[in-house]
Amino acid sequence: MADGSEPRVGDQRPGGRAARVRDAVLAATTELLDEGGYDAVTYEELARRAGVHKTTVYRRWPSRAELVADALDLHSEEAIPIPDSGSFVGDLRLLAHAVAANISSEAGARRSTSIVAAAIADADVADTVRRFMSRRIAIAQPIVERAIARGEIGDAADPHIVIESLVGPIWFRLLLTGEPLDPPFLDALADAVASR
């Protein structure tokens, strides 16, 4: 800060200093996740990169799991926009490609797999990851609701299960089989989900 003081995180004016600090801390969190995985996220290094006191970070995010969840929320909003292409299969293809791109790049795989490992090792992290994933699935459900409204699919389709059916096999390849997340697979998967 120019006056040498830190921004107050309690200051909630949109676009104010607190918002800038929040964004800087969360961006630094994603950076660290991408560079070194979950274990690389330390309050010391975060504070250094975001240019704030460590206590500022602790005050706002007493738990690393919550900090990581907020960083993932912000990152996902940008990296995985929910498509609205006008067709069900088009939306599913776009979503499949975005999810795959986000978790299968070298940095994205490091971020994603290290968070899964942390969740397996620690019940608090697992809870946080679960809430994050539930939010992401909920955010994507309008893809299905719009397809139902357009009459492309019947209204018996469960939006939640449809999104899980698209996203689940992508994570399955990343975590279990290591098979490529390439366009032919992603399109075939989206087409199969769309044709139910």
Q: Could you tell me the smallest distance in angstroms from the CB atom of residue 49 to a copy of itself?
A: 25
**Contact region for a copy of itself (CB under 8 A) — 45-53, 57-65, 75-83, 160-168?**
160-168
Q: Is 176 in the site for a copy of itself (CB under 8 A)?
A: yes
Q: Is 71 in the site for a copy of itself (CB under 8 A)?
A: no
Q: Is 145 in the site for a copy of itself (CB under 8 A)?
A: no
Our CB check for a copy of itself shows the closer of 64 and 173 to be 173
| Secondary structure of the chain as H, E, C letters | CCCCCCCCCCCCCCCCHHHHHHHHHHHHHHHHHHHHCHHHCCHHHHHHHHCCCHHHHHHHCCCHHHHHHHHHHHHHHHHCCCCCCCCHHHHHHHHHHHHHHHHHCHHHHHHHHHHHHHHHHCHHHHHHHHHHHHHHHHHHCHHHHHHHHCCCCCCCCCHHHHHHHHHHHHHHHHHHHCCCCCHHHHHHHHHHHHCC
Distance, CA of 2 to CA of 143 (rounded, Å): 45
Q: Is 130 in the site for a copy of itself (CB under 8 A)?
A: yes
Q: Could you tell me the smallest distance in angstroms from the CB atom of residue 28 to a copy of itself?
A: 23
Q: Is 117 in the site for a copy of itself (CB under 8 A)?
A: yes
Q: Is 155 in the site for a copy of itself (CB under 8 A)?
A: no
**Contact region for a copy of itself (CB under 8 A) — 60-68, 72-80, 87-95, 118-126?**
118-126
Distance, CA of 166 to CA of 169 (rounded, Å): 6
Of the candidates 51, 157, 45, 145, the one whose C-alpha atom is nearest the C-alpha of residue 91 is: 145
Q: Which of 145, 172, 182, 183 binds a copy of itself (CB under 8 A)?
A: 172
Q: Is 161 in the site for a copy of itself (CB under 8 A)?
A: yes
Q: Is 164 in the site for a copy of itself (CB under 8 A)?
A: yes
- Chain residues binding a copy of itself by CB under 8 A are 113-114, 116-117, 119-121, 126-127, 129-130, 133-134, 137, 158, 161-162, 164-165, 167-173, 175-179, 185, 188-189, 192-193, 195-196
